[in-house]
């Protein structure tokens, strides 16, 4: 099946479990990481027809989503003499697609980009929205661009080689969407253990459609799209404090969801039982829900560097019951500190 | 007066010799170089009202339009905690505006950008079109983005402190536009010595309007906009071979124009007399028209890396009489080599 992302000149299709042969008039660069490359590169190369194909393998891990790796990708593209009619393909998880999309957006002021996500997280989250970027010492995704792919190919075959922990990290982002937008979809997570392929396809389709709806309304994140950052305000600080190495992104988001729910409870937006339901679903998929905060004041200050905080006002994305959201930018510091203290 | 650049959501105005006070709700970063900063920063700061203003001075010169300087700018913006509602202002020539526009386009995935060009070249050329970028060891402007400013302020007061050589470099780009698009405008260069302020305002207005017309038709350089690269195919190689240090960009363009005209003559597109008229106007403004090529084959090979050469076909932008252009991508290598040999 396919899902259309309608963005005028930047429209594209997301193909779910549809195998396509990829044909190009020009040259192609394929960026993957060493782990995914060993498993899936041969399969992909067998389906590409192009003038020339250049392979670029980057080290595996969020720690490499930085300026040095970006520069390494760009230099290899220049060495291979890719021109403005060339296409860059990302084969991998969020790190590969974020950095490859960014490279495509700035190589000779922008060349075509195709995204082939191989993790559940990047299928449900990173494959829609056109966010590209890299991390630096100040935080996550602080340098980047909005750049839409020409096409996205999601396929569950890639999930067969995905470690369980990474699969669960993807489930966290799916749960995030259910809690924010769709109470019925949340019920699905109570029933399914996601062992059946059809359940996984349903999950991907559902998430892609929810996110496509949001992005169609708000391509550059000036309004409702910010809701997708539920859990992320907390998660970004946690990832930064643990050097992007202790938790997978989705795991940090699971903790962030639980922290946001704790705050939502204090504001009367979520009942104790609803908060517990969400926590139990997260735990069912072996996701972490707590993190020891060393210095609550320092943790709070870190929020202010977040891209979503306008002029130092901290914006919290909170559930308003399960299936609805509320954006609050006037939460009292004491209340947030109180929430953070429950995680010491 | 103002010139409108109509690009739907990305529309903006170019103000020519209109002084405006600049007011912002959010924070502002001002990027300038050390030379321009010493002359004009105080004047600009007196006109800015903002929540906070952060100054960033980069070294003066094309050699610094690189990844290191870009990173230095970004880090200072993060240190100053500029958020997504902040604005970045470029005060300087093409180097400052190219790198500042690029920084604005990737800082937190894009913040507002205002351009205040202080050289004639950046007023007539870089102020319209949204091209941003940096150089690397493979060539000029090979990394960058298309990113439109929110406003451009051109003012002839800045030209009072501009060295003559740099003024002439700007005139070269203006002559380029006249030869490509407007035979009557070319006559202006035969008559005026550009000492009168009104003549300079006329020149800026004329160039901005010509370029605005082109960019309105072709925002991302898929077609007619390539014509603005008349002289540049040759100029980029010259600049690269001389490490961006011997010639100013406009000077290299002047040489490139003369080389392109030589080739156009061989193709019967330009008469010997027309070629001479253009050369004489260039020389009238003390612009160089020749460059000793050491290795013609090597010079030719370098064309192929140019962004404008699709799939290794080299595209030449040539005058078709004065005031008209012709794009040729089937020029025989021997003919080009013959032209290059006349510059040995």
Examine residue A169 and state whether it is found in any structural domain, yes or no: no
Q: Is the pTM of this model over 0.90?
A: no
In the prediction, which pLDDT does A37 show? 96
Q: For residues A299-309, b (16+ Cβ closer than 10 Å) or e, as one string?
A: bbebbebbbbb
Q: Is B302 a catalytic residue?
A: no
In the prediction, which pLDDT does A61 show? 86
Question: Is residue A16 domain-shared with residue A94, that is, in the same domain?
Answer: yes
Q: Which listed residue (A9, A79, A109, A272) is catalytic? A: A109
Q: Residues with Cβ < 8 Å from B58, sequence gap 6 or more?
A: B31, B32, B33, B34, B64, B69, B72, B73, B96, B99
In the prediction, which pLDDT does A258 show? 98
Q: Chain A: residue nearest B102 by CA? A: A106
A145: chain B residues, CB-CB within 8 Å: 105-106, 109-110, 145
Whether A276 shows a pLDDT value over 60: the answer reads yes
CATH number of the domain residue B194 falls in? 1.20.1090.10
In the prediction, which pLDDT does A219 show? 65
Cβ A136–B309 below 8 Å, yes or no?
A: no
Question: Is residue A113 domain-shared with residue A20, that is, in the same domain?
Answer: yes
* Least confident window among A13-27, A95-109, B29-43, B144-158: A13-27
Best to test chain A binding among B311, B313, B315 (most A CBs inside 10 Å):
B311
B24: chain A residues, CB-CB within 8 Å: none
Q: Using CA of residue B8, residue B10, residue B15, residue B21, what is the dihedral sign?
A: positive
For the stretch A79-118, pLDDT in tens is 999 999 999 999 999 999 999 999 999 999 999 999 999 9
In the prediction, which pLDDT does B308 show? 54
Question: Is residue B139 domain-shared with residue B233, that is, in the same domain?
Answer: no
Cβ B145–A78 below 8 Å, yes or no?
A: no
Whether A186 shows a pLDDT value over 60: the answer reads yes
∠ CA(A81), CA(A83), CA(A87), 5° rounding?
105
Looking at B110, B134, B161, which one is the last position of a domain?
B161
Of B108, B136, B309, the CB nearest to A142: B108
Question: Is residue A184 domain-shared with residue A307, that is, in the same domain?
Answer: yes
Examine residue A207 and state whether it is found in any structural domain, yes or no: yes
CATH number of the domain residue A15 falls in? 3.40.50.1970
In the prediction, which pLDDT does B226 show? 86
Whether A166 shows a pLDDT value over 80: the answer reads yes
Confirm whether residue A174 is marked as ligand binding.
Answer: no
Give the Cβ contact number of residue B83 at 10 Å: 21
Question: Is residue A227 domain-shared with residue A197, that is, in the same domain?
Answer: yes
Question: Is residue B205 domain-shared with residue B147, that is, in the same domain?
Answer: no
Whether B68 shows a pLDDT value over 90: the answer reads yes
In the prediction, which pLDDT does A9 show? 86
Q: Residue B148 and residue B127: Cα distance in Å, rounded? A: 10
Confirm whether residue A155 is marked as ligand binding.
Answer: no
Q: How confident is the model at residue B50 (pLDDT cuts 50, 70, 90)?
A: very high
Cβ A131–B110 below 8 Å, yes or no?
A: no
Examine residue A255 and state whether it is found in any structural domain, yes or no: yes
Whether B20 shows a pLDDT value over 80: the answer reads no
Q: Residue B180: which domain range?
A: 175-341
A131: chain B residues, CB-CB within 8 Å: 109
Question: Is residue A290 domain-shared with residue A224, that is, in the same domain?
Answer: yes
Question: Is residue B132 domain-shared with residue B265, that is, in the same domain?
Answer: no
Q: Is A47 a catalytic residue?
A: no
Mean per-residue pLDDT, A126-146: 91
Closest approach of B129 to chain A, Cα-based (Å): 12
Q: Chain A: residue nearest B28 by CA? A: A311
ipTM of the complex: 0.83
Per DSSP bridges, beta strands B87-92 and B131-136 are unpaired
A126: chain B residues, CB-CB within 8 Å: none
Domain count across chain A: 2
Closest approach of B72 to chain A, Cα-based (Å): 12
Q: How confident is the model at residue A309 (pLDDT cuts 50, 70, 90)?
A: low
Examine residue A65 and state whether it is found in any structural domain, yes or no: yes
Examine residue B51 and state whether it is found in any structural domain, yes or no: yes
Instruction: Answer yes or no: are the C-beta atoms of B321 and B180 closer than 8 Å.
Output: no
């Amino acid at each position: 099946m396919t899902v259309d992302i309608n963005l005028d000149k930047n429209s594209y299709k997301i193909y779910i479990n549809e195998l396509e042969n990829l044909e190009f008039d020009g040259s192609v660069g394929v960026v993957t990481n060493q782990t995914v490359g060993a498993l899936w590169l041969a399969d992909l190369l067998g389906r590409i027809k192009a003038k020339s194909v250049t392979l670029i393998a980057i080290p595996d891990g969020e720690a490499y989503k930085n300026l040095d790796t970006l520069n390494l990708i760009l230099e290899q593209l220049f060495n291979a003499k890719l021109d403005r009619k060339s296409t860059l393909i990302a084969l991998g998880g969020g790190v590969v697609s974020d950095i490859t999309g960014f490279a495509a957006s700035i190589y000779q002021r922008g060349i075509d980009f195709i995204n082939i996500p191989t993790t559940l997280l990047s299928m449900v989250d990173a494959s829609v929205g056109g966010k590209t970027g890299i991390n630096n010492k100040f935080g996550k995704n602080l340098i980047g661009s909005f750049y839409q792919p020409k096409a996205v190919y999601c396929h569950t075959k890639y999930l067969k080689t995905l470690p369980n922990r990474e699969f669960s990290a993807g489930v966290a982002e799916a749960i995030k969407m259910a809690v924010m937008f769709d109470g019925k979809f949340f019920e699905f997570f109570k029933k399914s253990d996601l062992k059946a392929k059809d359940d996984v396809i349903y999950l991907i389709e559902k998430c892609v459609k929810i996110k496509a709806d949001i992005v169609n309304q708000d391509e550059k994140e000036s309004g409702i799209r910010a809701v997708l950052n539920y859990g992320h305000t907390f998660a970004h600080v946690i990832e930064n404090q643990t050097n992007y190495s202790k938790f997978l992104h989705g795991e940090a988001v699971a903790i962030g969801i639980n922290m946001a729910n704790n705050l939502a409870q204090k504001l009367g937006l979520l009942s104790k039982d609803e908060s517990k339901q969400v926590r139990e679903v997260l735990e069912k998929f072996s996701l972490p829900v707590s993190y020891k905060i060393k210095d609550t004041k320092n943790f709070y200050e870190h929020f202010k560097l977040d891209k979503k905080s306008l002029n130092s006002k901290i914006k919290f994305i909170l559930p308003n019951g399960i299936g609805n959201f509320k954006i609050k930018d006037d939460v009292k510091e004491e209340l947030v500190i109180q929430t953070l203290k429950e995680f010491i």
